[in-house]
Structure 1
């Protein structure tokens, strides 16, 4: 495993999730994230491996790699790293996009009179009004991917847009920040307990706490090559631990079968 040394002058940043804080650093053009609640780094790496077996292009998702982290005080920790995908573009989260236009996603997401589909459509209408982008298929595919990996942290600051200040143009950022998935939070999902029990405890975001209801928003084509994915999992010893076990369990879920290419069959 690659070891990355955090220089003394590197500024420790705090990445805030729905579960708390995670330490990260920028060293050169790399972002390094330290595990804080379990095996977030393994989950990140495995999530990007899944997407490498999909119809998405490499620029459509962030690739994460495992690493050891040598801290300035000599402590060795573990986590993952990725390369900065922003370049000179400005990042604007979904939440900040709404705030910049003097509104809030809460007005839609917390409206109990709206169905999941209605919340989604109203949010997407606003996004299209603010940016000119129709990203309905991309976002519903993201939600379907979240259902597969049981991502419990797809809040409105984990859906990102990139703005080009010169061209005054917008685009959806690549899929990133999948660390709180595959039951990586060992504080909330203790090792040793049956997966069937733990999986029932995971809640989705942002349109509904039910993964199945968010999954139903995706009506696009299958986008993951299950056979390729299984072959990669068998051929590479990447030390995924329980993350791999959770994924294999998910691949057996009939409700997710339409996400995989026709003819991709998984057997115990």
Structure 2
């Protein structure tokens, strides 16, 4: 496993999720994240492995790798790292986009009179007004992926757009920040408890607390090569532990059948 030393002059950034704070550092061109509640690093690595076995291009998701983090204090902790995908582009979260151009997403997302589909459509319509992007297919596919991996942290600050100030154009950021998935939070989902019980406790975001309801927003084609994924899980050098068990359990659930296709292309 790669070891990454955090220089003493590197600022520790506190990343706030729906579960609390997580330490991360920007070291060179890498973002380094420390495990905070369990095995978030393994979840990130496994999530990006799934996407590597999909029809998404490498530019559409962030690849995470496991690492040991050598802190300036001399302590060694576990985590993961990824390359900085932003370049010269400015990052704008969905929430910031709304706050700058409308009010906030709350008036739509907290409206109990609206269905999940209606909330999704209204949010995507507002995004299109500001950015010119029809993000429906890409965002709904991401929500389907979130349902598969039980990502409980896809709040409106974890849906990201990138703005190019030179060309004054927008693009959807790659899928990133999947650490709070696959029951990685061992504080809320203690090891040793049955997966069937723990999985029922996980709540989705942002359009509905039900992963099934958000999964229904995706009506596109299958995008994960099941044959390749199972092969990669068998051959991968990283020990994914419970994260792998959760994924296999999810893959056996018929509600996700439409996300997978069988195939042997590009298995290596």
TM tier, smaller: over 0.9
Does the residue aligned with 2:96 lie in a helix, a strand or coil? helix
2:7 maps to 7
Gaps of 5+ in 1: none
Gaps of 5+ in 2: none
C-alpha separation between the residues in 2 aligned to 1:122 and 1:108? 7
C-alpha separation between the residues in 2 aligned to 1:110 and 1:211? 17
Matches within 5 A, 1:51-90: 51-90=51-90
C-alpha separation between the residues in 2 aligned to 1:216 and 1:241? 29
C-alpha separation between the residues in 1 aligned to 2:15 and 2:175? 16
| 1:142 is aligned to 2:145 | no
Over aligned residue pairs, what C-alpha RMSD do you find? 0.9
Alpha-carbon offset, residue 131 of structure 1 = 0.5
Matches within 5 A, 1:38-49: 38-49=38-49
For 1:33-62, what per-residue CA distance to the aligned partner results, in whole angstroms no more than 9, with x for missing partners?
000000000000000000000000000000
Alpha-carbon offset, residue 237 of structure 1 = 2.5
For 1:120-169, what per-residue CA distance to the aligned partner results, in whole angstroms no more than 9, with x for missing partners?
00000000001000010000000000000000000000000000001000
1:29 maps to 29
2:178 maps to 178
Higher mean C-alpha deviation, range 151-160 or range 253-262 = 253-262
Alpha-carbon offset, residue 102 of structure 1 = 3.4
C-alpha separation between the residues in 2 aligned to 1:60 and 1:107? 30
C-alpha separation between the residues in 1 aligned to 2:143 and 2:155? 11
C-alpha separation between the residues in 1 aligned to 2:2 and 2:166? 37
Could you list the runs of 4 or more consecutive aligned residues of structure 1 that deviate by over 4 angstroms after TM superposition? none
Provide TM-score, normalisation by structure 1.
Answer: 0.97
Alpha-carbon offset, residue 263 of structure 1 = 6.6
| 1:167 is aligned to 2:167 | yes
Does the residue aligned with 1:118 lie in a helix, a strand or coil? helix
1:20 maps to 20
1:95 maps to 95
C-alpha separation between the residues in 2 aligned to 1:130 and 1:40? 33
8 Å CA contact 2:64, 2:80 repeated in 1: yes
Provide TM-score, normalisation by structure 2.
Answer: 0.97
C-alpha spacing 1:166/1:254, structure 2 compared with 1 (3 Å): same
8 Å CA contact 2:15, 2:23 repeated in 1: yes
Does the residue aligned with 2:197 lie in a helix, a strand or coil? helix
